């Protein structure tokens, strides 16, 4: 089986490549990644010599680069992880890059997959397309899509384009919508690695608003096994919700991290809220369980422990990623907040 993985140098894509090479001896993977600020080939150093793995630097929003890669390989499936992925950047640093990568990039991949007759296209989407929940209930696949920030809106746009390619042209498309991931190689602009990095340096931990916003956390390896199940057995034209069944307020996550790092709660600093901040996400993953037999392997406590241990053991990775450009990003995002 030969797979095109886009965005494979990012957080989830790199974990997926490790997972697939580790569990499928006969798989071949071509990783197409533009290496934006979030793409890091260090995440794939351990597999760079594996004959089953090839890296191609390329931009999914450049038609010529997409055509070139589809002309050079005959893929059995495309898995589109490539995206601009950080909500705060989409709110404060301009949404145009999100429209380009997430919407235009997805359409160019869909077109190429159709022209070349690729048998399966898996679009990696997010629970954020559903918008925000009240105090009760969970998102199901039939919940109306109602995104509240530019990142979520572009991911919703990509989902609609993927479904349109299926309905209009018969392309075999499957969409996964997952809740918040955490684990190794996550870029430290996202909640969990940002808080670990700050706590280790005894810097304030910036919690938005009252800290009672709820996210449903899933350990990244469980997301990878879910995508594998959808790739192999998902029904064409369907959406699959993936979740951890661990909906907890941000403050709980931050306090748990401080405890496991032996740092004081006095490091917590409440800062100005994110505009349009979704109050609560929770996923109903019944379809994944009943149809595909998938369930998460790790509890939140186990996953968080593995994550903290990984960041402690990979201090150099974290220090390198947090230096340079990240420092000026952090300054711009949090100054005066």
Q: How many helices (H) and strands (E) does the chain have?
A: 13, 12
Interatomic CA distance for residues 136 and 13, integer angstroms: 32
Q: Could you give the residue numbers annotated as active site?
A: 127-128, 151
Using CB under 6 A as the binding rule, whether residue 207 contacts ligand TYD is answered as: yes
Joined tokens for residue 317: 């990775």
Using CB under 6 A as the binding rule, whether residue 219 contacts ligand NAD is answered as: no
Minimum Å gap between C-beta 307 and ligand TYD is 13
- Cβ contacts of 40 within 8 Å, gap of 6 or more: 9, 10, 14, 185, 187, 321
Q: Which is nearer to ligand NAD, 147 or 206 (CB)?
A: 147
Using CB under 6 A as the binding rule, whether residue 101 contacts ligand NAD is answered as: yes
> Which of positions 165-194 make contact with ligand TYD (CB under 6 A)?
180, 190-191, 194
Binding range to ligand TYD, per CB under 6 A, among 23-31, 131-139, 204-212, 295-303: 204-212
Closest listed residue to residue 10, CA positions, set 61, 77, 99, 83: 83
Minimum Å gap between C-beta 99 and ligand TYD is 18
Are 108 and 119 contacting, i.e. CB atoms less than 8 angstroms apart? no
Binding range to ligand TYD, per CB under 6 A, among 14-22, 52-60, 105-113, 202-210: 202-210
Are 181 and 11 contacting, i.e. CB atoms less than 8 angstroms apart? yes
Using CB under 6 A as the binding rule, whether residue 81 contacts ligand NAD is answered as: yes
Binding range to ligand TYD, per CB under 6 A, among 8-16, 109-117, 208-216, 298-306: 208-216
Q: Which does 31 bind (CB under 5 to 8 A by kind): ligand TYD, ligand NAD, none?
A: none
> Which of positions 76-135 make contact with ligand TYD (CB under 6 A)?
87, 128
Binding range to ligand TYD, per CB under 6 A, among 52-60, 73-81, 207-215, 223-231: 207-215
Q: Which is nearer to ligand TYD, 58 or 188 (CB)?
A: 188
The CA radius of gyration of the chain, in Å to the nearest whole number, is: 19
Interatomic CA distance for residues 308 and 314, integer angstroms: 10
In degrees, rounded to 5, the angle at the alpha carbon of residue 112 between the alpha carbons of residues 153 and 60 is 50
Using CB under 6 A as the binding rule, whether residue 82 contacts ligand NAD is answered as: yes
Using CB under 6 A as the binding rule, whether residue 107 contacts ligand NAD is answered as: no
Are 54 and 17 contacting, i.e. CB atoms less than 8 angstroms apart? no
Using CB under 6 A as the binding rule, whether residue 6 contacts ligand NAD is answered as: yes
SS3 readout for 49-71: CCCCEEEEECCCCCHHHHHHHHH
Are 253 and 187 contacting, i.e. CB atoms less than 8 angstroms apart? no
- Cβ contacts of 269 within 8 Å, gap of 6 or more: 204, 205, 206, 207
Using CB under 6 A as the binding rule, whether residue 329 contacts ligand NAD is answered as: no
Site residues, ligand NAD (CB under 6 A): 6-7, 9-13, 33-36, 38-39, 59-61, 81-85, 101, 105, 124, 126, 155, 178, 180-181, 187
Site residues, ligand TYD (CB under 6 A): 87, 128, 180, 190-191, 194, 206-208, 213, 215, 250, 274
């Amino acid at each position: 089986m030969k797979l095109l993985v886009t965005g494979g140098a990012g957080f989830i894509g790199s974990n997926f490549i490790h997972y697939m090479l580790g569990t499928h001896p006969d798989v071949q993977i071509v990783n197409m990644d533009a290496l934006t600020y979030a793409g890091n080939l260090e995440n794939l150093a351990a597999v760079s010599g594996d004959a089953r793995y090839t890296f191609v630097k390329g931009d999914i929003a450049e038609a010529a680069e997409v055509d070139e890669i589809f002309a050079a390989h005959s893929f059995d499936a495309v898995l589109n992880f490539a995206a601009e992925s950080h909500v705060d950047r989409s709110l404060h640093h301009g949404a145009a890059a999100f429209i380009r990568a997430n919407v235009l990039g997805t359409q160019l991949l869909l077109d190429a997959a159709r022209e070349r007759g690729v048998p399966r296209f898996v679009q990696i989407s997010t629970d954020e397309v559903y918008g925000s929940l009240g105090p009760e209930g969970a998102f199901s696949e039939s919940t109306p899509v109602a995104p509240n920030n530019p990142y979520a809106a572009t991911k919703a746009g990509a989902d609609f384009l993927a479904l349109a390619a299926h309905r209009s042209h018969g392309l075999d498309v499957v969409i996964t919508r997952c809740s918040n991931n955490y684990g190794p190689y996550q870029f430290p602009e996202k909640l969990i690695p940002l808080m670990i990095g700050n706590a280790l340096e005894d810097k304030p931990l910036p919690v938005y608003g009252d800290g009672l916003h709820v996210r449903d956390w899933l350990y990244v390896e469980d997301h990878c096994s879910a995508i594998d199940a959808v790739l192999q057995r998902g029904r064409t034209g369907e959406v699959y919700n993936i979740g951890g069944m661990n909906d907890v307020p941000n403050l709980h996550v931050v306090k748990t991290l401080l405890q496991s790092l032996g740092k004081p709660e006095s490091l917590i600093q409440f800062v100005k809220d994110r505009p349009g901040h979704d109050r609560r996400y929770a996923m109903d993953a019944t379809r994944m369980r009943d149809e595909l037999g998938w369930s998460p392997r790790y509890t939140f406590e186990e996953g968080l422990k593995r994550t903290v241990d990984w960041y402690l053991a990979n201090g150099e990775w974290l220090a390198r990623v947090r230096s340079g450009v990240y420092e000026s990003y952090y300054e711009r995002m949090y100054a005066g907040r």
